[in-house]
Structure 1
Amino acid sequence: MNILKWILITAFLTGCTASQVIAPGSTQSSPYAPVNEASRGGIVKYLNEGAGFVKRSRRESAYKKMYESCREAYEIVKEGTNLEGGVVVPVGNSAVWADSQYVYIEYRCVSK
């Protein structure tokens, strides 16, 4: 099986939804938390691999999570990619490591 098939299978098995990394306005019970903790934004991430329609579906899932966590209006503050984890892909009698690329979106809730 070629590398592309393994990457696609892995991407499919990883799921088609985004993950909430930090909810906006999270309050930590730590006495060391910053004074602006409750006013901080949130972060979502999604796997940026697979067919175009799969990546679009994951991004739509990220939009939905941001929308729901803000009870509607939000704005994207920053967006970027990061390599994390990965998968070992067998190639003939050897194996190759394939990194997984995620899109991270930092956002904040806004008033309409």
Structure 2
Amino acid sequence: MEQKETFFVTAKGDIQPLPTDDHVHYFEIQATYDEKQQIDHLFTQIHANNKQEGLDIFSPKRHFSESHAEYHRGKDSKLVYELFRYIYLLGTEKTKREIEEMNVLPELFESSHTTIEKVK
């Protein structure tokens, strides 16, 4: 069985072995190398989706098409919920408590149960 290590995750997508700034909020997780890679991959997807949206902002086809905007909003939401699910499942008791206080747990667990099983 692969050993889990402690990592600290920021909202910007940094995953660090130690918290480096007292002014930044971190979610503390216990993860294997593969689990950490899954979180890294989700952050990469979120950043790529946001960059794509930014590059296409002046495109009349995207800018004036509600279906395109809806697609990107839905994709962002799904990725963010998946990220929070991973952080919650891998999180320390403090991290789990913080996410529970955000009142997002029903949304986190109502979709993609196969992803949840992959992390367990």
Q: TM-score range by the shorter chain?
A: 0.3 to 0.5
**TM-score normalised per structure 1:** 0.32
Which of the pair is proportionally richer in strand?
1
**TM-score normalised per structure 2:** 0.31
